[in-house]
A and B are shown apart, each in its own frame.
Chain A
């Protein structure tokens, strides 16, 4: 009797649960063209799920994407990202000039740009903002973005000049160079110009606006020698170079100061930036938060608390209204903004949550109008992807596998090539549903006109042959499959940070290598920061997961990873020839020629195979159809002033808005 009752009860509970679940599935019916409720708001307020809690509202002090989006509302730079293509468009700089080898830029600022407190924004504010960002005391993590500027790295790392106190002459870099330096190979910004020689291709009255100055002369002089500020590091460097030792004996060390950095306010509305090298991509970098203008007076008055809602003064299309940490940041239209007439939104509410289903739930019930990139879980794609408010498109980011080339067996190029050829990237991308297979080190379909090279395709036959040549013969196994008995399996492993999508990829790689080469590489997952630590110190053996997203819209943002042996390289592979090829490309002003040279460098990298390309990732997010001016661009960054709410259903976005027209 008792038992019967219990069984009935359990059956009842299950029935009720099932019926509720089935009705709920019915409610989200497949016939709906949008995902969830679509009710345009009566006010011009955008509620945007922005991801992680912002670290700070101080632009150089946080480097994350959620912050970057917030800064795009609050602060403006010389240039802004184009809402569709992310190429630089005029912002506070109305127009600009680039010298003949992209080593110097002159910006003409608009005269009507104002802070949110009504005071004018001038060239001096930019000089202050960038010097501040570079100051060692501020210790900004993004400071290296500005290292292309003359003496920026020296100032940021506390380096010193060497000065002869008797003659007042500085020791120059070329004085101690191991090989004699040709003046003509130097960038224009380091050469003194002969009178009449035109540095800029421009009309006469334009160049008059950026008059010459003593500082400009200083910039246009051969690079001074800089040495580490700390005595220990300096002694080490001096010991390496006897020429250096002789050149500096008996001379004084003079700290590189903020005033030495290559940025100058020629007048209130003219700004000149001098670089230490040719950098055609530099303009694209200037839209980064590091280069956005911040208010000197407020910072000097309140110190680290200048970003408190009570004190903060902003330069962008919006200003802070309220900040509830870990919940939301509310920004409102800045009435002082120079282009306020064209700002479409009254307010933006940036919601904080880093949990994807939570974000999607808010969106579905209509409590959020748009969500950040990568929010639609793979398991939801079946339901969400067919809807007209699903946004996808190629992303300026890649997924790849890094190999530690410093340890056997992967120090053998043939082995590396074999492991690359044994992975079927096309099948993998099909399984991932929204990404594109990758066979290079730059993302597919992002850089228009870039002649992207290809690495070896999927070829298990050739892979086995190569492994055999390297001394690890692969033999067919009885009952199908392959085995590679001589391969030192204990010398390799694949490491990745714990996350379900990374695990899927790890298991795919393991299966491919096992199936095609008969080698079952052990997998090891780690907590994120531990993983980064192990990878950057080359403390792993074999393979590690690699991800990279563009800092600016140029192939160099990817190719520069292997420009130096340290940093984000992670593989231990470095080749002077590769670095030279990149240098050659960057001094070439003709865009097509430059792209060709960059592509040659990329091919060189792919041939050396320190990496296995896997996929170009894709943006995936949702926005309500009434949110206009928000495009699925390749970087997940949106200039908010172009966004508006459209209440007329005939003008809504039904599908993905075009990125090209």
Chain B
């Protein structure tokens, strides 16, 4: 197990470096610059800007300098668009916002999804099963850029119960609508995954064994069936949580949240190279870590898996 973790961690480092290099290259290939705008800049001023930010140097020097700062100090530099703000500080500031919304949404999705999915599986082909799966289908089919405005229309613009957008810290009422919007699709997925996983497990031999041992139905479901039935949900959790943690562009824009996703999309549109690289690297690290955690969780949940 330990050897497995160490090996995975060692692979992570070159992966991240490749990701950074690719991002660096792609930003350069995109037409336009961070300083290009509606009104054209005279050549003399363009020259001043390029000198100030070291863009007049040969590309390998620029690349070397960027990489060295990242490897040596973990420093992604300063945003080109937002004067004087370091990329690390921007990430540190916006991550909590994305993470709070993301984790709350996932927790909500997990609780509702697992409960609904389990009920559906245990009462297969009942009206509960059909009702919950129909709702889940609806949840999967409605994208969050539709769900969000509908929720805002109902709860803010018509009933005036909840604020329609903006971040007011945590906890606050402002959190409710983005969390609901974000969790919708995950809730639906988890319900379906749970149902499918549970159905498969409930028919398996070891459940029959557990039942024949004379365990109560409650013990069978909670101690044996659920553990195995949740495997698909666990493998889904890794990447899902990584994306939720690092911000979801649509929801953050819709609700004007100062999260990582908002910065990410804006950085790409602004050609803000250090910020793009910083956020991409951060997302890559998060994704790889989550996948590793999922693999470890597998071993705990399924006694048959050994690394």
Q: Is the CB of A156 within 8 A of B166?
A: no
Q: Is the CB of A367 within 8 A of B163?
A: yes
Q: Is the CB of A24 within 8 A of B45?
A: no
* Tally of chain A residues near chain B (CB < 8 A): 69
Query: In angstroms, how far is the closest chain B Cβ from the Cβ of A515?
Result: 31
Known: A2-B130, A56-B83, A304-B83. A361 touches B44 (CB 8 A): no
Q: Residue B48 contacts which of A61, A156, A305 (CB distance < 8 angstroms)?
A: A156
Q: Is the CB of B262 within 8 A of A358?
A: no
* A27 interfacial contact with B, CB 8 Å: yes
Q: Is the CB of B130 within 8 A of A23?
A: no
Q: Is the CB of B156 within 8 A of A352?
A: no
Q: Is the CB of B165 within 8 A of A139?
A: no
A58 to B153, CA, bound (A): 38
A137-148 CB contact bits vs B (8 Å, 1 = yes)? 111110110010
* B154 interfacial contact with A, CB 8 Å: yes
* A446 interfacial contact with B, CB 8 Å: no
**Across the interface, which residues of A come within 8 angstroms of B256, CB to CB?**
327, 351-353, 355, 358, 362
* B47 interfacial contact with A, CB 8 Å: yes
A1-44 CB contact bits vs B (8 Å, 1 = yes)? 01001100110010000001101100110000000110000000
Within 8 A of A (CB), among B259-295: 262-263, 266, 269, 271
Q: Is the CB of A365 within 8 A of B82?
A: no
* B212 interfacial contact with A, CB 8 Å: no
A45-62 CB contact bits vs B (8 Å, 1 = yes)? 000000001011010011
Q: Is the CB of A24 within 8 A of B154?
A: yes
Q: Residue B52 contacts which of A139, A153, A326 (CB distance < 8 angstroms)?
A: A139
**Across the interface, which residues of B come within 8 angstroms of A533, CB to CB?**
31-32, 36
Q: Is the CB of A63 within 8 A of B39?
A: yes
* A567 interfacial contact with B, CB 8 Å: yes
Q: Is the CB of A361 within 8 A of B49?
A: no
* A536 interfacial contact with B, CB 8 Å: yes
Q: Residue A362 contacts which of B30, B38, B49, B165 (CB distance < 8 angstroms)?
A: B165
Known: A5-B127, A362-B165. A21 touches B153 (CB 8 A): yes
A346-373 CB contact bits vs B (8 Å, 1 = yes)? 0000011111011001101101000000
* A532 interfacial contact with B, CB 8 Å: yes
Q: Is the CB of A56 within 8 A of B82?
A: yes
* A568 interfacial contact with B, CB 8 Å: yes
A566 to B43, CA, bound (A): 10
Known: A24-B154, A326-B262, A362-B166. A529 touches B149 (CB 8 A): no
Known: A326-B94, A365-B160, A536-B40. A358 touches B130 (CB 8 A): no
Q: Is the CB of B83 within 8 A of A24?
A: no
Most buried by A among B49, B130, B158, B271: B158
Within 8 A of A (CB), among B116-135: 125, 127, 130-131, 134
Nearest neighbor of B255 in chain A, beta-carbon distance? A358
Query: In angstroms, how far is the closest chain B Cβ from the Cβ of A339?
Result: 29
A597 to B90, CA, bound (A): 52
* B302 interfacial contact with A, CB 8 Å: no
Within 8 A of A (CB), among B143-181: 149, 152-154, 156-158, 160, 163-167
* B35 interfacial contact with A, CB 8 Å: yes
Query: In angstroms, how far is the closest chain B Cβ from the Cβ of A135?
Result: 9
* B42 interfacial contact with A, CB 8 Å: yes
Q: Residue A20 contacts which of B45, B51, B134, B154 (CB distance < 8 angstroms)?
A: B154
* B17 interfacial contact with A, CB 8 Å: no
* A380 interfacial contact with B, CB 8 Å: no
Within 8 A of B (CB), among A137-177: 137-141, 143-144, 147, 153, 156-158
A6 to B126, CA, bound (A): 11
Q: Is the CB of A529 within 8 A of B83?
A: no
Nearest neighbor of B138 in chain A, beta-carbon distance? A13
* A209 interfacial contact with B, CB 8 Å: no
**Across the interface, which residues of B come within 8 angstroms of A5, CB to CB?**
127, 130
Query: In angstroms, how far is the closest chain A Cβ from the Cβ of B177?
Result: 11
Known: A2-B130, A139-B51, A529-B32. A27 touches B158 (CB 8 A): yes
A136 to B47, CA, bound (A): 9
A61 to B35, CA, bound (A): 11
A568 to B41, CA, bound (A): 8
Q: Residue A324 contacts which of B131, B156, B258 (CB distance < 8 angstroms)?
A: B258
**Across the interface, which residues of B come within 8 angstroms of A528, CB to CB?**
32, 269
Known: A137-B52, A353-B256. A326 touches B83 (CB 8 A): no
* A181 interfacial contact with B, CB 8 Å: no
A37 to B158, CA, bound (A): 11
Q: Is the CB of B157 within 8 A of A24?
A: yes
Nearest neighbor of B82 in chain A, beta-carbon distance? A55
Nearest neighbor of A353 in chain B, beta-carbon distance? B256
Known: A27-B158, A326-B94, A533-B31. A355 touches B254 (CB 8 A): yes
Q: Is the CB of B156 within 8 A of A529?
A: no
**Across the interface, which residues of A come within 8 angstroms of B166, CB to CB?**
327-328, 351, 353, 362, 367
Nearest neighbor of A28 in chain B, beta-carbon distance? B157
Q: Is the CB of A327 within 8 A of B167?
A: yes
A229 to B48, CA, bound (A): 12
Q: Residue A357 contacts which of B42, B149, B154 (CB distance < 8 angstroms)?
A: B149
Q: Is the CB of A58 within 8 A of B36?
A: no
**Across the interface, which residues of B come within 8 angstroms of A532, CB to CB?**
32, 36-38, 40
**Across the interface, which residues of B come within 8 angstroms of A138, CB to CB?**
48, 52
Nearest neighbor of B133 in chain A, beta-carbon distance? A6
**Across the interface, which residues of A come within 8 angstroms of B152, CB to CB?**
361
Q: Is the CB of B45 within 8 A of A530?
A: no
Q: Is the CB of A62 within 8 A of B38?
A: no
**Across the interface, which residues of B come within 8 angstroms of A21, CB to CB?**
153
**Across the interface, which residues of B come within 8 angstroms of A378, CB to CB?**
none
Known: A55-B82, A141-B45, A307-B84. A567 touches B40 (CB 8 A): yes
A21 to B146, CA, bound (A): 14
A221 to B47, CA, bound (A): 30
A100 to B28, CA, bound (A): 51
Q: Is the CB of B266 within 8 A of A53?
A: yes
* A534 interfacial contact with B, CB 8 Å: yes
* A118 interfacial contact with B, CB 8 Å: no
**Across the interface, which residues of A come within 8 angstroms of B30, CB to CB?**
529-530
Q: Is the CB of A156 within 8 A of B45?
A: yes
* B62 interfacial contact with A, CB 8 Å: no
* A489 interfacial contact with B, CB 8 Å: no
A143 to B130, CA, bound (A): 67
Query: In angstroms, how far is the closest chain A Cβ from the Cβ of B176?
Result: 14
Q: Is the CB of B254 within 8 A of A364?
A: no
Question: Can you spell out 8 A-B residue pairs with CB atoms less than 8 angstroms apart?
Answer: A5-B130, A61-B83, A143-B48, A326-B94, A353-B165, A362-B164, A365-B156, A528-B269
Ranked 8 nearest A-B pairs via Cβ: A529-B32, A157-B44, A326-B258, A24-B158, A56-B83, A353-B256, A361-B164, A304-B84
Extra contacts besides A327-B166, A530-B30 (20): CB < 8 Å: A2-B130, A9-B130, A53-B82, A55-B82, A61-B83, A139-B53, A141-B35, A143-B48, A324-B258, A325-B90, A354-B253, A357-B149, A358-B255, A361-B156, A361-B164, A365-B163, A365-B164, A529-B36, A532-B38, A533-B32
